Amino acid sequence: MNSYHKSFIYKFSITLFIVCICLFASNKLWISFYPANVFLSIGGSGKVNIEAQLNKKNNTEFKKVKSEDITTKLDKLTNVKLEIKRAKYPKKLKLKFSISSSDKLSDIYINKISVSKQEIKINDVNDFIAKNAEFHIKDNRLIISPEHHNFEIICLQKLNIKPEFKINYCFFIIIFNIAIIFIYRFVSYITDFKIRKNSSLIEVMFLVIFFTILFVPMAKIDTSKNLVLENRIMAKYPAFAVNQKINKHFFKEFSNWFNDRFFGRRNLIEFHAKTECQINKNYCGNELATFYKNKNIIYLNRSWGLAPLTTDKESILKTYAKNINNLYDFCRSNNIKLYILIAPRQVDFFDNSELYDNRKNRPDPADEVISYLKNNTSVNIIYPKEIMLKENKTEPMFFKTDNHWTQKGAFIGYLELMKAIKKDFPKVSVINENSLEKYYDNKVYNQYGDGVSQIGLPKNTAEKMMDTLYPYYKNPKDYLLVSGNYSSKINFQKEDGDIEFFNKNALNKKVIVIGNSFSQSLIDFLPYSFKTTIRLADHIGKRNLNFNVYKELLLNEKPDILILCFQTTYMFNLLNLYPNEYSKFGDEQ
């Protein structure tokens, strides 16, 4: 064996060793672990946040954990499923419960606990320990009596779960080949360094640092489903092959996936936002939102309302009217009463006179569209802008750091909607504000608001902005949550936020509400008035008010009332109620 072969074997051995390290470091890119499913059969009353933690070690310290949480309303018995990603060899389970400080503490009982295929036996109190709670076991049921609004239960039984996974061989081969080529060249350069003339230590150091930096962003890939702080769903990992053909958009989709998940992403966003806020005296922000420092207020770009009607205005207005009249005709032929509740825009509820923004004097084009629809359609359109502006003088109708209406704003919307419904259904009852227990909080549903998260403002800046008390209601539990995942129950196109309520004491009518996030606050009140209330979440990029998505469901469910609920910015989706016929206007708004 000559010196060349010896040198090649030496270099290739080192290369393979380094490639193995790189493959191990990047395994999250080519190995997909199936989540560990924590299943609870749980009962109680009221809204509770449940967090399941799986500990990697067989102890009760819970330092290295994987977790997932869910907020649900407990009433009688509820089945809760939490999918915890990359929990490879969990040994212990902890359940953390959080109840709103405004709610009363009451017993919670658990009939069944299982992790993946292993069921945790509930027959011995020595198998559990609790913090901030008392508990006992009766008839194989774990009954928990909380002593604090935040409490937890640790299951001492050891878990014996092996991870299930699949390998993306296409991506593995790509990483392996690229690593072999670059690392072999790098090893060759290093090993031949002594005999190279005109080489320097600086070149070597540069290459080492360069390749090290390349691997830093993938050191810890975020495996979450949603970017909660940015109020959007993360890009999904793309398939390299689709229908036995190479995905032509793989690298673009992979880039979007990686940009949402790389290590240190959130820190970079916060650093950029903090720096910009310090540099700019009057405002800072990005393409999503703007922080007006002199008013201590954040407007999302969608807060400014519907985009101006600039091109083919008359044709667009006619399309709005034609689509809504078609929907009205469908509802009338199926004995369904149709109502459309449109929330006004956030910016109209604050003093904008001192803002450094040329949009501050621009009227909302939605006012013109709504006026046109009221004059050219037969639909009940409820636009509570004037009454909300009046009420805003005493209590805020919108948040300062979020484009959504407050719970009081949603309640005013509910009252105005019920005025219209009561004309058609005189026996329907409307809940009185005096029967609701009101309290005040300076947060946006325990958060800082979409505006803070979308700009990426640091926590200390966000805390200083929380200078307004917003009205909330502690709702009495007269109605029963039937399904927190209604779409799965009926095998409908799945969407987070689909939910069904049942109230045996209310008017025997079925209501379906289709709407974006503004409809979420509306269903805090609607179930008081109707026996069955179903809310279907309609989000941009998903259902988009596409009537073809809902037609079969409406025919099967046979509701008495259909309500569309959204803010003015979302109105442009009405142009796509019938996308095959009218999609030409879809991008103009």
Mean pLDDT of the chain: 82
CA distance 557 to 533: 11
Residues 141-181: tens digit of each pLDDT: 999 999 888 899 999 999 998 878 878 777 788 888 888 88
pLDDT digits (tens, 9 = 90+) for 222-261: 776 666 555 556 777 787 777 767 777 888 888 888 887 8
The SS3 call for residue 94 is strand
Tens of pLDDT along 24-60?
Answer: 877 777 787 788 899 999 988 888 889 999 998 888 8
pLDDT value of position 225: 63
The tens digit of pLDDT for each residue in 399-414 reads 998 889 999 999 999 9
pLDDT band at 199 (very low <50, low <70, confident <90, very high): low
As beta bridge partners, residue 141 has: 138
Higher-confidence residue of 311 and 131: namely 131
Q: Is the CB of residue 229 less than 8 Å from the CB of residue 289?
A: no
User: How remote is the C-alpha of 542 from its chain's centroid?
Assistant: 13
The pLDDT of residue 309 is above 90: no
Query: Which tens digits make up the pLDDT trace of 416-459?
Result: 999 999 999 999 999 999 888 899 998 887 688 888 877 777 77
Residue 526, CB-side half-sphere exposure with 13 Å CA sphere: 30
Which comes out higher in pLDDT, residue 287 or 313? 313
pTM, entire model:
0.59
Rounded Cα–Cα distance for residues 536 and 371 (Å): 27
CA distance 585 to 589: 8
HEC string of 410-447 equals HHHHHHHHHHHHHHHCCCCCCCCHHHCEEEEECCECCE
pLDDT, tens digit, 9 for 90 and up, residues 498-531: 888 888 889 999 999 999 889 988 998 999 999 9
Query: Which band of pLDDT confidence, cut at 50, 70 and 90, is reported for residue 2?
Result: low
How far is 404 from 450, CA to CA, in rounded Å? Answer: 9
Q: Residue 282 and residue 291: Cα distance in Å, rounded?
A: 9
Question: pLDDT tens-digit profile of 529-544?
Answer: 999 999 998 876 567 7
Burial of 38 (0-12, 13-18, 19+ CB in 10 A): buried
pLDDT at residue 586, rounded to an integer: 37
Domain boundary assignment for the chain: 3-31+164-215, 35-155, 226-263, 298-585
Both tokens of 217, joined, read: 């962003």
pLDDT tens per residue across span 322-381: 999 999 999 999 999 999 999 999 988 988 776 766 677 777 888 889 999 999 999 999
Fold for domain 35-155? Lipoxygenase-1 (2.60.60)
574: number of Cβ within 10 Å: 23
CA 324, 329, 334, 336 torsion: positive or negative?
positive
